[in-house]
A and B are shown apart, each in its own frame.
Chain A
């Protein structure tokens, strides 16, 4: 008798739980975010985005929406809510927005870093289109904060932080080179580019000469690498720099490779080397 009552109680409890859970399951299928709204922490978003398997098939490509919070928690933005950057978060799911939320997130930096934004806006990387205007192809190719300082969730502290500065210093290719491949390739002089690419911390990164937020074309007299300002830039590391020296040596910084290619002896040796290698490969192939 007692056993029968216990069974009935358990059954009733199970039914009650199921009755309560069903709407929630249904809501989850409709991505009802009411119970996971971003709060002061990130626990709301990370309920889903901490799952390494989270993603979506976009076209024929699987796009991961996993967020590794390790870098975020250890970085300067640990206390910033997800919506602090993803400002167009619509509080509903799917997270569809009227704007490109990636672009929006990369632009959101200006809300907390207005000074840097002001300087950036005057540089060559600023976007010409006014708010509300359609972005041109050129505008779309321009980097936003997160493109250089990213990966967005792993941004490191730079101010008064040697570790963060060292990491950024070594990311020349990711920051500049992947868009300016030709300049990256030609940055190979003896004491600057070649050493930098080998990881020398005492060799200058691109932005140490060209500037960062205030970067301008070299033909612009306000540019740090304009003829008028080269002396000052070189003088950051070198003593007794004159205009003549700066103008002369600056030619070497991005011209060494070009000079090699134009050198007839070097070209002859390279060709001879290639010929010998080909010959060796041919001979080797006979015996292998």
Chain B
């Protein structure tokens, strides 16, 4: 047996329990932290300025086309369905249909949608006429302004640098989404040990001939894939929760706009004015839409 296969069997049991415990606890901590942050927004008057006086960051650049909005919307819906069905399969609470088959099929269907979405979005980012991948690239300016952005979020500074469309934390978060999605898709497909791929088992093709050989069997490799799949699932849940919270609290009009529910105010952008709570960082802003988080 290989080195990994020689790990004490109880390690795998304990690892699963540790992951459950840590991620559940972490998620509760994050919810509490976000609730505390929202109270901070209330106490600092940001909520009143934003939601009562409707003072939001100004948006510049051309409107976001329909396609990325459509992909974002289907992605959000599909990811929610995937998270709920996936967690439902693992932590089953009730069995309205008698088995887990319906949950599995929901997971499979949205898995396909998300995979198509991912390929489509990558094509849009790198190969379409718009090629917006540069908007997600972390620049030197982003690194320099990162401490000020953090100071603003933790209420040390009253304003944040105006950075055009995304700040450094947004860029890093959105950038990490792509490899995580690819890894999640890979580990998800690797779990399909009953699916035949041109007459060969899918799990064998993806992991059996490499990782499987390392850990003594395809089954063990599948188990490892399931653990990785589960970890990434939690990372998505945590990042998405923070993303939704900051989108709503930091730039609610942009949040609504992404779902086609509002039009962004661009009149100030034409005069190169910055939004409320934003300061000039000394350079021209990126020619893109200012967005929340």
Contact = CB atoms under 8 A, between A and B. Distances in A.
Q: Do A and B bind each other?
A: yes
Interface of A: 190-191, 194-195, 198-203, 238-242, 244-249, 251-252, 255-256, 259-260, 262-263, 265-266, 269
Interface string B185-208: 000000001100000010110001
Interface residues of B, number: 36
B220 A248 contact: yes
B101 A202 contact: yes
A186 to B, nearest CB: 12
A191 to B, nearest CB: 7
B21 A269 contact: yes
Given A240-B203, A269-B21, A269-B25, 4 more contacts: A199-B98, A200-B99, A239-B194, A256-B13
B22 interface: yes
Nearest to B12: A248
12 contacts: A199-B95, A200-B100, A201-B98, A240-B201, A240-B218, A242-B217, A244-B220, A249-B223, A251-B13, A255-B10, A260-B21, A269-B25
Nearest to A264: B21
B22 A244 contact: no
B129 interface: no
Contacts of A256: 13, 16-17
Nearest to B219: A245
Contact of B91 (A194, A202, A247): A194
Contacts of B219: 238, 240-242, 244-246, 249
A198 B93 contact: yes
Contacts of B10: 251, 255, 259
B5 A244 contact: yes
B86 to A, nearest CB: 12
B270 interface: no
Contact of B92 (A195, A238, A239): A195
Nearest to A247: B9
Nearest to B98: A201
A256 B216 CA distance: 24
Residue with the greatest number of chain A CB neighbours at <10 A, chosen from B9, B25, B98: B9
Interface string B1-20: 10001000110111011100
A198 B203 CA distance: 29
A211 B208 CA distance: 30
A76 B194 CA distance: 37
Contact of B22 (A200, A239, A240, A265): A265
- From B12, B13, B14, residue with most partner A Cβ within 10 Å: B13
A262 B14 CA distance: 9
A271 to B, nearest CB: 13
A248 B193 contact: no
